Structure 1
Amino acid sequence: MASFVCFYKALRGVFLRGVPPAAAHLFPLLLLLYMAQRMVFPWRERRSMWVNIYNTVAAPCAQVHFKEGYVGDVLTSTVRLLVDVAFGTLWFLAGVRGWLTADRLDLVAGGNFIERLWLFQKFIVPALMAGPLYWRFMQNIHRAWATGDRWPHLGNAMKYAAAQTVGLLGVFHPELRQHPAWVSGFVFATCYQYAWDIFMDWDLLRWNGSSFELRKNRLYSSKSFYLAIAAVNLVLRFLWTITLIPESTQHLFTEKFDINVHLSPFIAAAEICRRSMWGFLRVENEHLHVHGGRRPKPPSAVAAAAPGATSIAGPPVDPLPKNKAGDGFRPMGIAIAA
């Protein structure tokens, strides 16, 4: 936020006396460099994060546990962010190229150049959009092969395959985004994802023989908490429909306001918030299947010091029924199909 305020003030020429408006572009560059540095250093603390990302990208060759599946789902929510980071990086590189060749930092021309760049439009954007979906698809294929169970892994894989298909079709053929068939496909994929959230990832609703009811084993006491997350999740799942408004009719909603451009950062932020709320109930459901609703007790000092002591303490947990997601959850090697 501080970087945005400084950028806006410098662009208007009211930041500091003597600072030209062209210097405003240094603030997002500094923010980009700072975030890149924080993602790597300190390496001792960041190493585990990059190992998990590598194991996620290496699907289906790598083992799929809960953390890899969770990281994969989080990456599917960062598509807009990754595209913006890629565009910003190329934008500054193009500006530096213009400065070196023409003795000026031509960032505007660099932005127009990137928008028309074949490599960016036909390779980088599709790769960043479909990559996380492909990784989760292959993770589920790996789980289906490793466990020998077709359901729910192939059903979960179909969810990502549907999203990937309509997404790639919209990227390579943007003229089809107003076509009823493409819109119907996107609505189907979104409804599929939402239903999977409710019935599989969260195991939130269960059939009691006559109607659906909220599962009784819950870690959060308030029912309204679950209902609120489910409602917000539904709204944010369909927030992308704003981008379907044709440019020829946008003037009916607002003047001098590009909906796709100006709302894109807010839609990206809303997706991150939605994924965070999704994570609360996903981790809760995982905890219930692993520990049966109990909190695992840490080993006592005496038990930990005893020869041959194991790292698992506390009373034995009753055998758990197989998770609805069909992953055969185990405390030390938890698989996911999200």
Structure 2
Amino acid sequence: MSKSVRCGNVIIGGGAPLSIQSMTNVDTRNVEGVVTQIKQLEEAGCDIVRLAVPDMEAAEAFSKIKKQVVVPLVADIHFDHRLAIAAMKNGADKVRINPGNIGRIDRVKAVVETAKERGIPIRVGVNSGSLEKDIVQQYGGVTAAGLAESTLRNVKLLEELDFEDIVISLKASDVRLNYEAHKLVFENTNHPLHIGITEAGTVNSGKLKSAVGIGALLLAGIGDTMRISLTGDPVREVHFAKELLKTIGIRPSGVNLVSCPTCGRTRVDLEGIALQIEKALEDVEKQRELKSLPRITVAVMGCAVNGPGEAKEADFGVACGEGKGVLFAKGKIVKTVSENEIVNELLQLIKE
């Protein structure tokens, strides 16, 4: 088990629930705009929000932003150690740096001392696109071993300064490279890991890369906090992260819909029925009516081959036949209804 680190009111690692992160794409100096976006992320279910800090004005904006939001805020720093210090003094709950690009050891030490004084963790962030030149030359390009070495080298730098409140982040846009690098680091440290696929792409391509890359890591037991990186509205990152965690079973709540792919035996409009039920249950989840309930599995099946078995194993389900469907609840047959009654009857059964 990894060590635990506190970021504001969120615990990362140490067996704590896996947290969802995102990053604002509104200019941090635009306090009103960035607060609006942070609140949208909070409402979507984001646990930790990162903000870019390109200059001192952005670092100082943390003091105003912090007063208006609840979610912990992470300052994203590159190159200038003074921005990290200023952001922490203005209320940042965590700073993200790459010690290697901060420069001289005295600058890294200054960041560490401020973090120690204020009890603020440091996220060591290493990306495949900004790997140190000596490591790229040593390994003949960007490799998993090189990424891991860079990460552990920078972590060691903080450890030698007697600093342990570390969260590790190493990301690549290549799914296999990303996975192999994480495995190497996971085997050689017990600091909590922030996982993701960097620059994953648009909503369409990025969701697929993230599902494979992050899903593989989570199934291997790797990861304490995560971000889905998608081009565009960051709120969509949070929605998809929740979807992914629900699918894997790490956040066992909400609705798990099971439906068959259809075949020549199907004698109802199963696609239409499944889509209507899915949409209705999504609306119920958004209204938080199912928030306090455990995960519910709903099976929508098209024929007598696998249908009755799947419907019986689910919490609620329907096994369809010739223009009709048999409704199940908790493993027992409830009744048979006509095709045009399936959606309403099944939803009513679930609500009851």
TM-score bracket relative to the smaller structure: under 0.3
Q: TM-score, normalised by structure 1?
A: 0.25
Tell me which protein shows more strand as a share of its residues. 2
Tell me which protein shows more helix as a share of its residues. 1
Q: TM-score, normalised by structure 2?
A: 0.24
